[in-house]
Amino acid sequence: MNIREMEKDELEPLSFNDIAYYIIKLDKEPKTTVMLFKEICTLLEMSDSEYEALIADFFTSLTTDKRFILLNSSNWDLKENHVVNIIVDESEEDFDPLYEELEETDDIIEADESLEADDVDELSDDAAIDDEETDEFEDLQIIDEDAELEE
């Protein structure tokens, strides 16, 4: 679709962003906000006062439209013309020991889930041994802090 060959009646139902999209796609080069909006105003036969009143709104709408990307050179281009490369650096400086602990915990959980009935009995026997060790603490008393403060 050549946006420049369309009649004004055909362009009016389109949004400014749609027209800007087709202009950049047709020209295959990035453009500044001013260049884009001046061309849109020319195509729609808008006056200078309309241009001045609407250019800020046009800029705002470009920033929220996911089809466009603002380049370092302050030119707008289509996102589809650019590839985003994500680089993950796993150097030792950035290594989080907590992450390693979480991985070990996941391994323990997976091991516990694979227990069989015989293994559960062995664990119960271990728990009984732990109960015997706690007998030596039977003589200990629990002190209520509030009661102690009142005395």
Beta pairing partners, 77: 69
Sign of the Cα pseudo-torsion (136, 139, 143, 148, in order): negative
Q: Are residues 70 and 99 in the same domain?
A: no
- Residue 150 counted as domain residue: no
> Does 117 lie in the same domain as 68?
no
Domain identity same for 71 and 96: no
The mean pLDDT value for 28-38 works out to 91
Domain presence at residue 66: yes
pLDDT 10s digits, 74-115: 899 998 888 877 777 766 555 566 666 665 655 555 555 555
pLDDT of residue 101: 61
The average pLDDT across 24-35 equals 91
Tell me, yes or no, whether 68 and 98 share the same domain: no
Q: Is 33 part of any domain? A: yes
Task: Note the pLDDT tens digit of each residue in 51-82.
Answer: 888 999 999 999 999 999 998 878 999 988 88
Based on the domain organization, do 75 and 97 belong to the same domain?
Answer: no
Residue 37 φ/ψ, nearest 5 degrees? -70, -35
Residues 35 and 9 in one domain: yes
Predicted pLDDT at 103: 58
Enter the tokens of residue 32. Answer: 């500044």
pLDDT value, residue 130: 52
Write out the DSSP string of 70-137.
Answer: E-TTS-EEEGGG----------GGG--HHHHHHHHHHHHHHHHHT--HHHHHHHHHHHHHHHHHHGGG
pLDDT above 80: residue 17: yes
Residues 21 and 76 placed together within one structural domain of the fold: yes
User: Which residues are bridge partners to 31 per DSSP?
Assistant: 76
18 lies in the same domain as 53: yes
Full residue range of the structural domain in which residue 70 is found: 3-81
Rounded CA gap, 89 and 105, in Å?
Answer: 24
Q: What is the CATH number of the domain that holds 57?
A: 1.10.10.1250
Residue 57 lies in a domain: yes
Residues 66 and 7 in one domain: yes
Total of domains in the chain: 2
Q: Is residue 77 part of a domain?
A: yes
Residue 128 contacts by C-beta under 8 Å, 6 or more apart in sequence? none
The dihedral of CA 6, 9, 61, 37: what is its sign?
positive
User: Is pLDDT of 31 > 80?
Assistant: yes
Residue 67: its pLDDT value, please?
Answer: 92
